[in-house]
């Protein structure tokens, strides 16, 4: 056997063929390993994204990328890094969500909801040149429909308004079909399971912005719209948003978060929200609001020299 034959068919030829097969397999193995590492790293990064606002997020991100680099470029550390990445993923997925600042966020959302209601009242005023009446009554004077129903078209609830029947009471056979509909603008997110109840009420009664079946305009607010309360927050009102019932000036408890009786109140510690005739939404607290000032702010033409807090 010649040297050439030996090189082609002998042990050296077999060794070369084996090396070629190994070289052919190695790139595939590397690509598969890199793919698995890449998928693991992406999954870990997605899990870490939940903690982007936490102080430990940046060190965690750097550690993850460092491990990924070692796993791809290194040799003896590849298996350790891959296993470490998988363990990190499992740890993060089992890690509870970071605590959320629920209270402050809800205190921001609550005035935003009330602001939308006040703006809807202003749009209604632009169309009809007055605010809606507190309620529409039947021939016997019984309240049938609430002002909250009347402003639905100005709160992107036009379809709901079209489904409502004004030829029957709010709790009539057809309108009852709408009783499960939730209008989120009418409730404060701090309310425990608000459902269809409203937290934003009008204060009705003689001399207020809501005298009953009569409508009030900006021109009637002699004390100034900026010094006239048109909406108040009431916790646990128990009033369906469609119900033509609100907070009566004579019957309401005075002060903010009163110990007894229903009055201006909320689940925000120490304060409650109020909407004013000028469109502003402000927080009210007993520290800056005397009973006399509150009384003055709830009337539209009492002649008092008042300034809203």
- Please report which confidence band the pLDDT of residue 102 belongs to, taking 50, 70 and 90 as the band edges: very low
Residue, of 30 and 207, whose pLDDT is higher: 207
Cα gap 224→218, rounded to integer Å: 8
- First vs last C-alpha separation in the chain: 109
Asked which of 94, 119, 145 is the last residue of a domain, the reply is 94
**Residue located via tokens 């609430």:** 146
Q: Which domain holds residue 250?
A: 102-297
Q: What share of the chain is helix, strand, coil (3-state, %, to 5)?
A: 45, 10, 45
Q: Do 47 and 155 share a domain, yes or no?
A: no
Q: Do 80 and 165 share a domain, yes or no?
A: no
Q: Do 156 and 34 share a domain, yes or no?
A: no
Query: How many domains does the chain fold into?
Result: 2
Q: Do 71 and 202 share a domain, yes or no?
A: no
The model's pTM: 0.65
Of the listed ranges 80-94, 143-157, 162-176, 184-198, the one predicted with least confidence: 80-94
Residue, of 162 and 52, whose pLDDT is higher: 162
pLDDT digits (tens, 9 = 90+) for 283-305: 898 888 888 888 899 999 876 65
Q: Do 244 and 134 share a domain, yes or no?
A: yes
107 belongs to a structural domain: yes
160 belongs to a structural domain: yes
Q: Do 169 and 257 share a domain, yes or no?
A: yes
Q: 152 vs 123, 149, 157, 189, 262, CA distance in Å? A: 11, 5, 5, 20, 26
CB proximity list for 249: less than 8 A, separation 6 or greater: 203, 204, 205, 206, 207, 208, 298
Asked which of 94, 117, 144 is the last residue of a domain, the reply is 94
Asked which of 94, 114, 143 is the last residue of a domain, the reply is 94
């Amino acid at each position: 056997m010649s040297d050439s034959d030996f090189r082609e068919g002998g042990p050296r030829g077999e060794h070369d063929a084996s090396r070629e097969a190994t070289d052919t397999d190695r790139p595939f193995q590397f690509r598969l390993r890199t793919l698995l590492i890449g998928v693991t790293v992406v999954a870990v990064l997605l899990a870490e994204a939940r903690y982007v606002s936490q102080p430990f997020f940046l060190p965690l991100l750097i550690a993850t990328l460092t491990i990924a680099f070692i796993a791809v470029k290194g040799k003896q550390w590849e298996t350790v890094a891959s296993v470490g990445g998988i363990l990190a993923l499992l740890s993060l997925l089992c890690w509870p969500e970071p605590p959320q600042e629920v209270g402050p966020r809800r205190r921001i959302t609550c005035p935003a909801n009330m602001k939308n209601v006040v703006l809807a009242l202003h749009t209604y005023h632009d169309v009809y040149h007055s605010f809606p009446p507190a309620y529409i009554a039947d021939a016997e004077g019984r309240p049938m429909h609430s002002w909250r129903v009347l402003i639905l078209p100005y709160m992107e609830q036009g379809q709901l308004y079209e489904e409502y029947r004004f030829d029957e009471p709010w709790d009539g056979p057809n309108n009852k079909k709408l009783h499960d509909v939730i209008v989120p603008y009418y409730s404060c997110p701090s309310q425990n399971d608000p459902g269809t109840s409203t937290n934003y009420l009008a204060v009705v009664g003689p001399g207020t912005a809501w005298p009953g079946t009569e409508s009030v305009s900006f021109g009637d607010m002699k004390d100034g719209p900026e010094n006239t309360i048109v909406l108040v927050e009431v916790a646990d009102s128990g009033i369906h948003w469609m119900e033509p019932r609100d907070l009566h000036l004579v019957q309401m408890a005075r002060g903010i978060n009163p110990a007894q009786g229903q009055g201006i109140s909320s689940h925000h510690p120490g304060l409650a929200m109020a909407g004013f005739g000028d469109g502003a939404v402000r927080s009210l607290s007993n520290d800056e609001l005397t009973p006399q000032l509150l009384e003055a702010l709830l009337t539209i033409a009492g002649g008092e020299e008042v300034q809203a807090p």
